[in-house]
Amino acid sequence: MMKAFLGAIALATAGCAAHSAPSHPPEVSTEQLAAQIDGLEAASGGRLGLALFSQDEGLLFAHRGAERFAMCSTFKLALAAMTLETSGVREERLDFGEDDILSYAPYAKERAQIGWMSGLEAAHHAVTLSDNTAANLLLARLGGPEAFTAWLRDAGDRVTRLDRNEPALNENAPGDPRDTTTPEAKAELVGNLLWGDRLSATDRSILHGWLVETSTGMARLRGGLPDGWNAGDKTGTCGGEGQPEFNDIAVFETPAGSHYVLAAFLDRPTGTSAEADAVLADAARAVAEWIRKSGA
């Protein structure tokens, strides 16, 4: 019922949120896609940020693309890239004790009796399972949030910032710029990490493989992509009572061989978590249809 309702609203409604035109206008206008995304946002009761980035054309479409949103666990994708790039870290032994194991740390809990994991294992499970303890161990080894933010700047991201560790970074307080990004910045960063020369070809392949292996976002953006489109993603969920956020960064390839990153952030929707997931899936469905019709 919720999905049908969202679809009907999306086709009928055109809101007033800021949209970015494609860098190279496709054959089909972005107006219908903009109306669909406006409608999904209105039906969700929250604020929806979205950016589509193409390997060939750069930024193709954005809705609230320059507005700040809490990152939640989406930062772990770039943290894994930093780990892969930093010499020697993947082979290092990262020790931890019971006090380091956070409430959501499935892999760390498996390793509790052993009391350590390698840097590569930490990066792998920070992405695929979103393990919070693994992420904190990597942050500690790599110099903390400040060093991570400096690495982002060096990678060309002038917007994204990490200020705290897990779980404090998930607060999502109104107007707080800490631990935030924008849809446009995140989509471009991920595209550059996967398709640029910042990482070696081997490390790009490892990172992409982890995103494909991830199963936490099957009901979000990947749930709206057509069968046969190879996809991976990194989710993020955070915020306290009354200020939840549901995020997803999907990377996908069409049957024609075109590569895209779709970054989506849904802040403070009024429905259930399942309904929030459905909004993100419907957004991906609308974007995929636009890609197919436009030849973008």
Look up residue 12 and give its amino acid.
A
The mean pLDDT value for 145-156 works out to 99
Spell out the domain ranges in the chain.
Answer: 2-86+144-294
Q: Is the CB of residue 284 less than 8 Å from the CB of residue 225?
A: yes
CA 205 – CA 42 distance, rounded (Å): 38
3-state secondary structure of 282: helix
CA-to-CA separations, 291 to 22, 46, 191, 269, in angstroms, rounded: 12, 25, 17, 26
pLDDT at 59: 98
Homologous superfamily (CATH) for 2-86+144-294: DD-peptidase/beta-lactamase superfamily (3.40.710.10)
Q: Is the CB of residue 23 less than 8 Å from the CB of residue 55?
A: no
Top-confidence residue, 5 or 157: 157
pLDDT at 107: 99
Name the residue with tokens 């006090």.
Answer: 99
Does the pLDDT value for residue 5 go beyond 60? no
Does the pLDDT value for residue 105 go beyond 90? yes
CA 199 to chain centre: 19
Which residues form the catalytic set? 73
Burial zone of 159 (CB within 10 Å; 0-12 exposed, 13-18 middle, 19+ buried): middle
Name the residue with tokens 């949103």.
Answer: 69
pLDDT at 3: 40
Give the pLDDT confidence of 160-215 residue by residue, as tens digits.
999 999 999 999 999 999 999 999 999 999 999 999 999 999 999 999 999 999 99
Does the pLDDT value for residue 12 go beyond 80? no
pLDDT at 161: 99
